[in-house]
Amino acid sequence: MLADEINRTTPKTQSVLLEAMEERRVTVEGETRRLPEPFFVIATQNPSTLAGTYPLPESQLDRFLMRLQLGYPDQQAERQLFMMSTERDRVEDVTQCLSTEAVNNFRRKSAEVIASDALLDYVQRLIAFTRGKAEFHFGLSPRGALCVMRAAKT
């Protein structure tokens, strides 16, 4: 699921989305439904300095495995944007390259990977580093640490 400009949604909407990420289910009009597997969220965010945004609290941010900042395109990439078609919706041009079953199979296989002691030591040092430095407002949570380990196995 793509949650575009997630910090423009109300805190209640953010909470419902993040609950779906954690619980893997949603409740609509009293009926609870399981979400399809795989289910994951890719979210975009406007800078928090813009009016009308509701920043996600740290307890919700740690549900996202990665945070990337893209910044502005360089001049050449921006020029290519200018030269592209004016059509905004290019979803029709996207072709599926993996089946749902293949993605689920990759997930199962990565869960079977056994982490070496060296990897466990490294991840624990990494986590401890985030918890003990002033550069980090908050250290990595246990949930975040588990996600780092899953990513390393993958």
CATH of the domain at 10: 3.40.50.300
What is the Cα–Cα distance from 86 to 81, expressed in whole angstroms?
Answer: 9
23 in a structural domain:
yes
Query: Which tokens hold the place of 33?
Result: 């439904």
Q: What is the pLDDT of residue 2?
A: 81
* pLDDT tens by residue, 91-145: 677 888 999 999 999 989 999 999 999 999 999 999 999 998 888 888 888 888 8
Residue in the structure block whose two tokens are 């893997």? 24
User: For residues 60 and 14, is the Cβ–Cβ distance under 8 A?
Assistant: yes
Phi-psi region of 101 (alpha: psi -120 to 50; beta: other; left: phi over 0): alpha
CB 49 within 8 Å of CB 6: no
Look at the chain and report how many structural domains it folds into.
2
In this structure, the answer to whether residues 2 and 65 fall within a common structural domain is yes
Q: Are residues 67 and 121 in the same domain?
A: no
Identify the CA nearest to 119 among candidates 147, 154, 143, 153: 153
Question: Is the pTM here over 0.95, yes or no?
Answer: no
pLDDT digits (tens, 9 = 90+) for 54-65: 777 777 777 787
* Tens of pLDDT, residues 21-79: 888 888 888 888 899 888 888 888 877 666 777 777 777 777 787 888 888 899 999 89
Q: Tell me the C-alpha distance between 15 and 60, whole Å.
A: 8
